[in-house]
A and B are shown apart, each in its own frame.
Chain A
Amino acid sequence: MAVEIIVMVKQVPDSQEVVIDPVTMNLNRSMTRNVTNRADENALEAALSIKDKIGANVTVISMGPPQAETTMIECLARGADRAILVSDRFFGGADTYPTGLTLAATISKIGKYDIIIAGEESSDSSTGHVGPGVAEFLDIDQITYASNVDYEDGYVIGERELEDGTEVVKVPTPVLVTVLLNSNDPRRQTLRRKIDAIRKGFEVWNIEKVGLPPEWVGVRGSPTIVRRMRSIKEKERAGKKYDLTNLGELVKELYEKKVLKMEEE
């Protein structure tokens, strides 16, 4: 029996282009390009390296709106065997609790799994809750913040970078692993795989298919209440230019503004 690996991914707004709506204080996602969360690309790469070594089946799952389609195709084009987008309006507005629950329910529905891999956190909310949450809902062991993941005869070996050294843990499957951002070099998508992925498509699971009651998921199933959001104003630069041949003037001005201090004798 082939080892079954499930990779959890999320589509996020490109962090370099994120704009906060000044009125609602929400992220304005309509303006930005959507990309696959970069740590999740590392999670997929970790799964694909295990597949290269032992020939596993890699299934990618994601909870998100229909436009996450591009992420599903991209994961297939990198080498995943199957992709499931869990998408339904009932799932909208979920915080990390029902998100973990929904993904755990999806994984239970898939049935057999040996290793679940996710990125350490998403770049748009940076909680790091969802991976560990899924492990708790499924009641399995977890290795968090791994810098390297390997598989050997029913065990996952994870390396964790700690302040005073590297910890290597060996855990019997089934196990959930979250991997560090930039912990590996994700392989490129290929044209051949992308053509096949577009032709074959991916699965979309709605709430009936996942099998959870509507009141447990989405905004209704979310215990978090956001009290207030505050945006930080970027300080505008004066835009003043200095002539580098006349450094004395610059030094004098910095001194007067108390940026520079005369050293006490």
Chain B
Amino acid sequence: MSEFDAIVVGAGPAGSSAAIKMASQGLKVLLVERGEPPGSKNVSGGILWGKDLDAILPDWEKTAPLERYVERKVTSFLTKDSEISIDFKTKKFEQTKTGYSVLRTKFDQYLAKRASQAGAMVVSGITVDGLAIKDGRVIGVINEGDTITGDCVILAEGPNPRVAMAAGLRSKPEDTDVAIGVKQVYKLSEAAINERFNLRQNSGFAGEYVLSYLENDIFAGGFLYTNKDTISMGVVINIETLRRDGRTHSYDIMEQFVQHPFISRLVEGGTLQEYSAHFVYEGGYESLAKPYGEGYMLVGDTAGFSFSNGMILQGMNYAISSGIMAGETVIEAKKDNDFSEKSLSRYMDRLEKSPAILDKKNFAGMNKVVWSSLVHRAVPEMLESSLGMMLYENGEPKKHLTDIMMKSISSTELTKKDLIMQGYRLMRRM
């Protein structure tokens, strides 16, 4: 007889969602978090697409600490001198918002509190040392030599899952599957943010950038999101190219992003409030771990559920949905009192019908295309030179668009053949 029906390791969106789901059905749940309070160790860019929360917290839009809803979405290429953007503003989602900027220290604390109110025992400030395994079955967690037993253990440790890796339930991520995220939060007045980003009281800006000005062939993306009276911004750096260069530091890349002429004026006068760094899991379908086994399940980043295609970068939504699905699976397993691998495979059945897996499957190989010289160098350079010729008057006779494009292509390092090949691949993957 186990002390708990389920033990959840990690109180981020995945772990807390699983705990809320299970505890609200009357299960005995222990949620263990190493940060004190929950959220203090967690980092993400900060846009929550929270529709999945409807299933466990119907009132979340009224009660959660949400900063601003996403009204304006920008995807940009930044070159040394220019910014080329798609700037999409819409009133369409004014009623059904779903996308919000959040600050994780507040938001994760809220979710953990809701788990506690639902009846879960939330223990923060404690690090789980490892899993208790008996006859090939996970039977609980170990801390300071004590074993706490649970019929099922849900690992929601984030992208660097120490416990899961030590138990061999997940392999150490390859360089190609992770990126380094560096983030800063700047304090500005609400009025200044509204004015600079053309926003109203609750509406917000979410920008994602390709940093094509970086030297030494390093690939990195940037993000900038508005909160009520702060701005969350950061960079996501491809580890392979950073390692190959070996001289540039991640904080140099962060600094260069903050100093870019069209970014620095957005945060000018702001005071730096927070500085953090974290892994970002970007592995594709082919590197997903098996997310369940005898007495355990993996959720959120620990299972590898995240998505990035250069235009969008998401994780919290998959964390929440996978947490809920794992919770549902435990509720069923409890009814049959069967926590075997076979019983928990129902988690996989659920996942396979959900975006957590489908998005990865449908966009397999995306990673290679996103982190390519086409996206990070050739396209931005080409756009910069052709738009410069098309949109600015320089006293010379005007040229046809095709001539301008051809001239721009020849100014990039790629051959025409490369460009067509890679371009085709990109279109196909997207």
Contacts and interface: CB of A to CB of B under 8 A. Distances in A.
Contacts of B146: 190-192
A200 interface: no
At the interface, is chain B mostly helix, strand, loop or mixed? strand
Contacts of A192: 143-144, 146, 148
B336 to A, nearest CB: 27
Given A33-B37, A189-B125, A189-B126, A195 B144 contact: no
A33 B41 CA distance: 14
Nearest to B30: A195
Of the four ranges (under 10, 10 to 19, 20 to 34, 35 or more), the interface on chain A belongs to 10 to 19
Contact of B144 (A74, A191, A198): A191
Interface string B95-119: 0000000000000000000000000
A33 B40 CA distance: 10
B32 interface: yes
A188 interface: yes
Interface string A163-202: 0000000000000000000000000111110110010000
A195 B37 contact: no
Contacts of A74: 125
Interface string A5-48: 00000000000000000000000000001000000000000000
Contacts of B126: 77, 189-191, 194
Contacts of A194: 123, 125-126
Nearest to A199: B121
B199 interface: no
Contacts of B14: none
Interface of B: 30, 32, 37, 40, 121, 123, 125-126, 128, 141, 143-144, 146, 148
Interface of A: 33, 74, 77, 188-192, 194-195, 198
22 contacts: A33-B40, A74-B125, A77-B126, A188-B144, A189-B125, A190-B126, A190-B144, A191-B32, A191-B123, A191-B126, A191-B128, A191-B143, A192-B143, A192-B144, A192-B146, A192-B148, A194-B123, A194-B126, A195-B30, A195-B121, A195-B123, A198-B123
| Shortest beta-carbon contacts, A-B, top 8 | A191-B143, A192-B146, A190-B144, A191-B126, A194-B123, A191-B148, A190-B143, A194-B126
